[in-house]
Amino acid sequence: MQIIDIASLPHFCKREGSGSSRHSESATENCFSMDHPFHQKLYDYMKQQGMSNKSAVPAKQGSFHVDVPVSAAEGVEIAKTIESEFQKLGNGSRSGLPGSLNDLKIYDD
């Protein structure tokens, strides 16, 4: 019974033949063995991690549209618009962003 595809094993799990050169054309041997206790534990650990419900989920990243006033004289309005959009993102939206955006302030330098 084959549990792991031999071709998918990393290079350090394969042993070179008895040739004198590391890059010789001799065949490699598989040194991964389910008879070895460490390999059994490693396989069980990987299987357990793969089945756990605590799998890491990448953070959602998205974009949003902000209507920005055209006139340069309306710089304060631009800052307020951006500030309010960030606050909307942080206040319980479904985007998965943390609520730490509540105190965000945008200043015109």
The Cα–Cα gap between 106 and 43 comes to: 51
pLDDT of 36: 81
**For residue 60, what are the contacts with CB-CB under 8 A and spacing of at least 6?**
95, 96, 97
pLDDT of 35: 80
Q: How far apart are the first and last CA of the chain?
A: 68
Mean pLDDT taken over the chain = 65
- Phi and psi (nearest 5°) for 73? -70, -15
Q: What is the mean pLDDT of residues 76-101?
A: 65
pLDDT of 82: 77
Q: How far is CA 101 from the centre of its chain?
A: 23
Q: What is the mean pLDDT of residues 8-14?
A: 68
Task: Record the pTM.
Answer: 0.27
Is the CB of residue 38 less than 8 Å from the CB of residue 13?
A: no
73 confidence band (pLDDT: 50, 70, 90)? low
pLDDT of 24: 46
pLDDT of 71: 66
